[in-house]
Structures are given as structure tokens and as C-alpha cells.
Amino acid sequence: MSNTPTSTYRNILSCVFIFLFPCLQTLAAQRDTAKTTTFRFKTVVIDAGHGGKDPGAPGSYSVEKNITLAIAKKLRRVLTEEMPSLNIIMTRNDDTFIPLSRRSEIANENHGNLFVSIHCNSSPAGTGASHKGAEILVYGLHRSKEQFEAIRENASISYEKDYKTKYAAYDENNPANQIILNLYMQKYRKQSIIFGEMLSKNFIELDDRKSMGVKEQGVLVLAHSAMPAVLIEPAYINNHDEEDYLNSEAGQDAIVRDIVSAIKSYKKQLSS
């Protein structure tokens, strides 16, 4: 006897459930782990973008990977001094290439409460002098294809030998992956935006700089961090004045101050 529409529909639902159930079990475990740390803000993960064979965006006399590491180290030092109760985790401490997937794994393994990825912005060739200011990115599933910054940052995948296999699960055309990623990230999206807005405000009010605010983009380094996560681009490395700012002690100190102040405000808000 042929299947009725109702039985066919039930069969489809059963297949979907069987496929997704192991993934949902994993997500439930991660959710329970997150619950234990939500109101105990104790671990900040600092990610210095690029590194090793991946130099990042070039300026006229510097490259992104060196600037991000310098800022990350200063941020760790200041946080250790001013917020000694925090556990600070670095995804890299030297000029080493760390795959994008490993960066979020480091954050998750250490049960991070906030993931801060530091980068430098870069505008298309020939437009560097006209672009300046800070920008903060949070992961946005619905805008994960066309964004320039996302394409540039995700290009780090090409440095990994097995990237086609490792990143197959990120296929945005797979409905199951969309469901899983939505379940996984939605819990942290709001908090990521809140922290990003605090940071944007600090760039303007504390550092007297322009900020383009918080934008949602499909940057893979944020995609699987099981915590609020932001990617910070404090200035454009291919703008001469901005490059000087990024390389100067005063500029790096100001960037660190802005980030630390935002972390303090964010922690206070969570506590209340």
C-alpha cells in the first residue's frame, strides 16, 4: 500500500530527528556547561589574529600579525594587573600560525566567558586614505556570504592543508548545518552585540576616534566560539595615519584601555 501524505511527512521528520539527535545532544551538553559559567565571569580568551605563515593585511611598513600580537600581549598584561581575578587565555603567544578552528577550540576548552579576536582593518586597493576608524564584528548567520571582511579573514583557511575536509561542516547550503549553527550561536549573539556596543562607545568617548559600530558578518573565527565573541578592528592598516596609530605605543595603549574598560563594564552588567 502506498504511503499517505501524513505517513510520508512522519517519515521525513523521523529521518531529520535521527540525523540531528547526536548534534542536539552535544549542543545540550554545551548549553549546560555554559549555564555554569554565565554568572561567573572569570575567563577571557584573547585571540591575536593571523600569525606565522599567515601575515594578514599589509601596511606600508608593517603587517597585521605583528600588530595584533603586540596589542594582545598588552591587553593580557593590563587585564592581569587591573582584573587579577580573571583567567586570561591567549590563542597564540608568539609568531605562530593557529588554524581558525583551533582558535575557537582553545576558547571552548578553557570554558571562556568572552572571546576577543584582535585584527586590523584593510580597505580595497586605492581607497586606504579614505577609510579610518574602528569596527567591531559579531557573527551573523544571515550575512555570512558577501561581506568583504569575512572573506578576507576566512582566507586564512587556505593555509591549512586539509581545509576542504575540516570546514565541510560550515556548508551554508546544508539545512541541517543552518539549524545546528543557529541553535549553537543564538544564545550568545545578544551578549556579543552588547559588549561590541560598549567597545564602540569607548573608541568614540575615551579615544576620540570614529567608530563604524557593530556589524554582523560571517567570520569563521567567531562561528564556533561557545561564548559571546567579537572581532575588533581598531584601525585601517593601509591608511598611513592609521598605520602609525596601530604601531605606536600611545595608539596600542589607547586600544587596550578601550577594550579593558568595555570588559569591566560588561562584567559589571553581568553581575547586576
> Could you report the per-residue pLDDT of 136-180, keeping only the tens digit for each?
999 876 654 433 454 555 566 667 777 667 666 556 566 665 565
Q: How far apart are CA 249 and CA 53, in angstroms?
A: 25
- Please answer whether residues 121 and 219 qualify as being in contact, where contact means their C-beta atoms are separated by less than 8 angstroms: no
The position carrying cell 593555509 is: 159
- Please answer whether residues 193 and 214 qualify as being in contact, where contact means their C-beta atoms are separated by less than 8 angstroms: yes
Q: How far apart are CA 181 and CA 141, in angstroms?
A: 8
The tally of CA atoms less than 13 A away on the side-chain side of residue 238 is: 13
Q: Which of 39-53, 56-70, 96-110, 183-197 has the largest mean confidence?
A: 56-70
Amino acid, res. 38: T
The tally of CA atoms less than 13 A away on the side-chain side of residue 65 is: 16
Higher pLDDT, 37 or 221: 221
Lowest mean pLDDT among 138-147, 182-191, 207-216, 224-233: 138-147
At 187, list the grid cell: 544564545
pTM of the model: 0.76
The number of beta carbons lying within 10 Å of the beta carbon of residue 155 is: 11
Domain at 43-271, CATH class:
alpha beta
Higher pLDDT, 210 or 172: 210
Lowest mean pLDDT among 38-42, 106-110, 121-125: 38-42
Residues in the chain: 272
Decide the pairing of beta strands 87-90 and 43-48: parallel
pLDDT greater than 60 at residue 18: no
The number of beta carbons lying within 10 Å of the beta carbon of residue 39 is: 9
Higher pLDDT, 148 or 101: 101
Higher pLDDT, 174 or 1: 174
Q: Is 29 helix (H, G, I), strand (E, B) or coil?
A: helix
